[in-house]
Homo-oligomer: A and B are copies of this chain.
Amino acid sequence: MDLADLPGRPCPAAAALELVGDRWSLLVIREVSFGAHRFTRIQEGTGAPRDRLAARLKTLVDAGVLRRERYCEAPERYEYHLTDAGQELVPVIRALRAWGERWACTPGQAVTPAPGAP
């Protein structure tokens, strides 16, 4: 992914969003960072449809954010771990969580917590 190829202003944030800025990627990374390393666990934790999850795991591995490791020989089974790049995505998720706690948890929209209320 070359920054110059993006349609808008060249910016590393845009490049980051190209890689992990879709509906599921950050949720997947959150789950893996929480210790959910297997397909089924990640699927339960994120709620992503199975095919989407399979595709997303593939692109995240390709992007170098996740590493796929076989944990069972007889029936080929794999689990997913964060690479260093993936690890460093955790602060992004933390920032997102902090924002969500403050603004997205109130019933209704992300309006200021107490406009005229106690």
Residues of chain B lying within 8 A (CB to CB) of residue A89: 99
Check A54 for interface membership: any CB of B closer than 8 A: no
Interface string of A1-20 (1 = CB under 8 A from B): 11100111101111111110
Whether the pair A110, B65 counts as a contact (CB closer than 8 A) is: yes
Whether the pair B45, A12 counts as a contact (CB closer than 8 A) is: no
A111: min CB distance to chain B, Å:
4
Residues of chain B lying within 8 A (CB to CB) of residue A83: 110, 112
Interface string of A102-118 (1 = CB under 8 A from B): 11110101111000000
Residues of chain B lying within 8 A (CB to CB) of residue A97: 11-13, 16
A104: min CB distance to chain B, Å:
4
Known: A2-B107, A48-B8, A84-B112. A16 touches B92 (CB 8 A): no
From the candidates B8, B44, B95, name the one contacting A47 in the complex (CB within 8 A).
B8
Q: How far is the CA of A83 from the CA of B113 in the complex (A)?
A: 13
